[in-house]
């Protein structure tokens, strides 16, 4: 079965490993959150660019219609 000191040492190693896992999990969640925010920002910029292009096309069409 092993002696008491071995069990205590194994328990300490397990607790340390769990703490490291929890810290890594927290870091990974933080990085994922940053990436999700970054993706949302890129999508918003693309939507803005699309709206600007649509507005420019409409303005160009109006100018074309006026000069026709």
Categorize the per-residue pLDDT at 2 as very low, low, confident or very high, splitting at 50, 70 and 90: low
* φ and ψ of 3, to 5 deg: -90, 170
How do residues 13-40 score in pLDDT, each as one tens digit? 888 888 888 888 888 888 888 888 899 9
What span, in angstroms and rounded, lies between the C-alpha atoms of 56 and 64? 12
pTM beyond cutoff 0.85: no
Please report, in angstroms and rounded to a whole number, the separation of the first and last CA atoms in the chain. 95
How do residues 33-57 score in pLDDT, each as one tens digit? 888 889 999 999 999 999 999 999 9
What span, in angstroms and rounded, lies between the C-alpha atoms of 33 and 61? 42
């Amino acid at each position: 079965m092993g002696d008491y000191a071995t069990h205590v040492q194994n328990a300490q190693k397990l607790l340390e490993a769990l703490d490291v896992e929890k810290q890594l999990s927290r870091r990974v969640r933080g990085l994922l959150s940053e990436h999700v925010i970054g993706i949302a920002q890129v999508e918003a910029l693309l939507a803005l660019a699309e709206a600007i292009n649509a507005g420019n096309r409409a303005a160009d069409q109006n100018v074309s219609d006026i000069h026709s």
